Structure 1
Amino acid sequence: MRRGRPEGGIAAAARELGVENTEAKRAIKIDGIAPAAKEAARAAGLENNQSTLLKVTQAEPEC
């Protein structure tokens, strides 16, 4: 039985997928990019460049 704070959704998903929490959080941020920005990234050949995509998440205004 685990003690302490219950595990949150991201932590549970990361464990289930076998990835680090930070990797899961990055994926969630990147998934939240506007569809037009995702398409522009694909057109530029950057759809697999996490560093660039994370910069987009910082530049996009919150809705």
Structure 2
Amino acid sequence: KLMLVITLLFVLLMFIIEWIGRDKQYGIGGLFTGKSRLYRWGIYYVIILLIFIFAGSNQQFIYFQF
């Protein structure tokens, strides 16, 4: 249940980021314009780290079963 809440919060956060940057080519790219390079790359690394933390378990590819 906790993972569902965390997932929904991250999905909501991504919708908000995309809505803020809706007139740009990349939603997240327009969010950090005007910020220092260190700040932007820090945010990018945090996003990548969160992807690895919340990645699913290693499973066999489903089509190998057939």
- Output the TM-score relative to the length of structure 2: 0.27
Determine which structure has the larger helix proportion and give its number: 2
**Which structure has the bigger radius of gyration?**
2
**Highest relative contact order (Cα 8 Å, sep 6+), 1 or 2?**
1
- Output the TM-score relative to the length of structure 1: 0.27
